[in-house]
Amino acid sequence: MEDDKSENKKLLILYASETGNAMDAAERLGREAERRRCPVTVLSIDEYDPENLPLGETVIFVVSTTGQGDVPGAMKGFWRFLLQRNLSKQWLEGVDYAVFGLGDSSYQKYNFVAKKLDKRLLDLGARALVERGLGDDQHPSGYEGALDPWMSNLWNALYQKAPILFPNGPNLVVSDHHWVDQPKIEITYHDVGNKNSRSSYSTDFEYLEEQIERARLMSPGKFSSNMKPDCSLKMIKNCSLTTAECGKDVRHLEFEAVSSCIEYEVGDYVELLPGQDPDAVDTFIKRCNLNPETYISVLPRAKETDFGDTNHSLIAPMKLKTFVELTMDVASASPRRYFFEIMSNFASAEHEKERLLYFASPEGRDDLYQYNQKERRTVLEVLEDFPSVQMPFEWLVQLVPPLKPRAFSISSSSLVHPNQVHLTVSVVSWTTPYKRKRNGLCSTWLAGLYPQQGIVIPAWFHKGSLPSPAPALPVILIGPGTGCAPFRGFVEERALQRKSGPTAPVLFFFGCRTKDDFLYRDFWLSHRANGGVLSEENGGGFYVAFSREQPKKVYVQHKMREQSMRIWNLLSQGAAVYVAGSADKMPSDVMSALEEIISMESGATKEAAGKWIRALEKAGKYHVESWS
């Protein structure tokens, strides 16, 4: 039976994205709806007022899960609103909804945000159109392996509920290609450059910060950071923490602010905008037949609102090459599926057009995933693989992944190192299934910088998921590998605090493969000796697990079990637990070890120990920062 509100309805798609995947999935849903002549609006969830939810719209949520089951930053306000106790069980009565989640099943709390959002919407009286969809990064086709069949079920369910939304039926896609001829932006080319030349600025960093702000304001890319950097940094130290024998390159990097003063607390993180390979940028510009010296303005096309409320007509034009360098990731990120779909319209060679159409089709989904995401093909490589394609610059600006800052845990205390920030950076490299060597853009770039170059690096500072502990709070730190980075700041700050009064104990468990990648060895050992912050005589301790120094592997959880009494003593004193490092199995293994320790030392059951840890989490005394 048709919903009696259907005449007033249109489809609303809200997404909460951290890395861009949820935004891409939401925009794809929007395009598929438009092709079915279904009226639709696609918005980031922080652009929507949750008070409007009960107004009878049909709402599709596309949400990612970050860290250990956390909501993306853009969703935090929306989620707080939904959790209000004064919302009744009938608040969303009559509202139809569907939830699609994006997650990674290697994480302990797989697709946790989608699951809890689905439950909360049901609790508030909304009706699920279809069972929630759960996209998995571990699937052979990535999240699209679940999105395609879920989307098919969604259109059928929507048609049953409100056929007026689909004048041509749920599966009849419009045959004309009018939608493909209109990118969301338009570019104006200028004969003369902007008046804000480099000579207008007293320093290089002022000029760079203004250029970044201007480029980002014009760009259609979604950025998690503010448009203008918080400050600019210059490197003052770059040294290796590992030996050549260990097969890893981990660097200790120190930076000094050259613009505004640095403000952060231990446990925070910083985002740095990497420089791109100049040769790659030049090759991209040449491949696309662009003039690097021309000045451009990038404007939203009429009726497009993706750029927000910025008055783009007031933004001065900028050099095309600068715009590409600062906003378009041409030689690191892989393009999305939609990129191949649009490319097919501009391929003049028939065999290339056929291959691109196949890649963009449901049948070619798995092959595209193997060719593109698994191999981490870059935009430049894809364009070079299809030489007959000549895409208009408007489409390239819209579809090339934005050049995003990379996040790093801060490994220093601003109280100990005023106006400085220290980082512990592992230089990322890997081999693809077809034996192609890949390197992380930002880590490789940073490792190749030296203080003498005087390179200015734009930086944005953010609150981390590891809150700064009060001096009187005992802490248990677990940080194998580069997970130790934030705890270096914790330890050096507590050592400073001890000079002006008593502080609570610090117990730290570190893990590495061998002595060749024992990061900050002298630092930890110095604080363990002579009654230091990590000394056993002060109730703390430092314990290192070498996983490959002996026949049987030893990890941090094994060292924790060896020190179960010390851990239980600190927990009994109200200690907080901090875990940082790889998201693979470590966080769940650490939690299991803690459950065993609590059960063994207190005599409680395993189930009661689990509840004890959940109570710690609710009390804000169990913190995890992990990354894949």
The answer to whether residues 135 and 102 touch, using CB atoms and an 8 Å cutoff, is: yes
Q: What φ, ψ does residue 209 adopt, rounded to 5°?
A: -60, -40
Residue 279 assigned ligand-binding role: no
Helix or strand (DSSP H, E) at 353: helix 350-360
Residue 589 assigned ligand-binding role: yes
Residue 334 assigned ligand-binding role: no
Instruction: Compute CA distances 286 → 1, 53, 282, 289, whole Å.
Output: 58, 48, 6, 5
For residues 444 and 446, give the distance between their C-alpha atoms in angstroms, rounded to a whole number: 6
Tell me the one-letter amino acid at 622: Y
Residue 406 assigned ligand-binding role: yes
Q: What φ, ψ does residue 358 adopt, rounded to 5°?
A: -65, -45
The answer to whether residues 215 and 329 touch, using CB atoms and an 8 Å cutoff, is: no
Question: Which three-class secondary structure state does DSSP give residue 308?
Answer: coil
Q: Which residue has the tokens 């927000």?
A: 308
Residue 443 assigned ligand-binding role: yes
For residues 367 and 390, give the distance between their C-alpha atoms in angstroms, rounded to a whole number: 23
Residue 452 assigned ligand-binding role: no
CA dihedral 352, 354, 356, 358 (to 10 degrees): -150
For residues 213 and 388, give the distance between their C-alpha atoms in angstroms, rounded to a whole number: 35
Residue 555 assigned ligand-binding role: yes
Question: Which three-class secondary structure state does DSSP give residue 403?
Answer: coil
Residue 554 assigned ligand-binding role: yes
Residue 65 assigned ligand-binding role: yes
Residue 498 assigned ligand-binding role: no
CA dihedral 44, 50, 56, 57 (to 10 degrees): 0
Residue 556 assigned ligand-binding role: yes
For residues 278 and 260, give the distance between their C-alpha atoms in angstroms, rounded to a whole number: 28
- Phi-psi label, residue 14: left if phi above 0, alpha if psi -120 to 50, beta otherwise: beta
Which residues make beta-bridge pairs with 581?
626
Residue 102 assigned ligand-binding role: yes
CA 25 to chain centre: 15
Residue 568 assigned ligand-binding role: no
Residue 400 assigned ligand-binding role: no
For residues 23 and 27, give the distance between their C-alpha atoms in angstroms, rounded to a whole number: 6
Residue 442 assigned ligand-binding role: yes
Residue 273 assigned ligand-binding role: no
Quick one: which of 280, 289, 320, 277 has its CA closest to 387?
Answer: 289
Residue 109 assigned ligand-binding role: yes
Residue 56 assigned ligand-binding role: no
Which residues make beta-bridge pairs with 186?
299
Inter-axis angle of helices 586-602 and 564-572, to 10 degrees?
80
Residues 6+ apart with CB under 8 A from 505: 474, 475, 538, 539, 540, 570
Residue 106 assigned ligand-binding role: yes
Residue 564 assigned ligand-binding role: no
Q: What φ, ψ does residue 452 adopt, rounded to 5°?
A: -60, -25
The CA-CA-CA angle for residues 519, 520, 523, to 5°, reads: 160
The answer to whether residues 280 and 403 touch, using CB atoms and an 8 Å cutoff, is: no
The answer to whether residues 260 and 231 touch, using CB atoms and an 8 Å cutoff, is: yes
The CA-to-CA distance between both ends of the chain, in Å, stands at: 47
Q: What φ, ψ does residue 331 adopt, rounded to 5°?
A: -135, 25
Residue 21 assigned ligand-binding role: yes
Residue 614 assigned ligand-binding role: no
581 burial via Cβ count (<10 Å: 0-12, 13-18, 19+): buried
Question: Which three-class secondary structure state does DSSP give residue 255?
Answer: strand
Residue 548 assigned ligand-binding role: yes
The CA-CA-CA angle for residues 12, 6, 127, to 5°, reads: 65
Residue 17 assigned ligand-binding role: yes
Residue 407 assigned ligand-binding role: yes
Residue 305 assigned ligand-binding role: no
Residue 68 assigned ligand-binding role: no
Which residues make beta-bridge pairs with 624?
579
CB atoms within 10 A of CB 361: 15
Residue 371 assigned ligand-binding role: no
Residue 376 assigned ligand-binding role: yes
Residue 58 assigned ligand-binding role: no
List, as residue ranges, the binding site for NADP(+): 482, 547-548, 553-557, 589
List, as residue ranges, the binding site for FMN: 17-22, 64-67, 102-111, 137
List, as residue ranges, the binding site for FAD: 376, 406-409, 440-443, 627
List, as residue ranges, the binding site: 17-22, 64-67, 102-111, 137, 376, 406-409, 440-443, 482, 547-548, 553-557, 589, 627
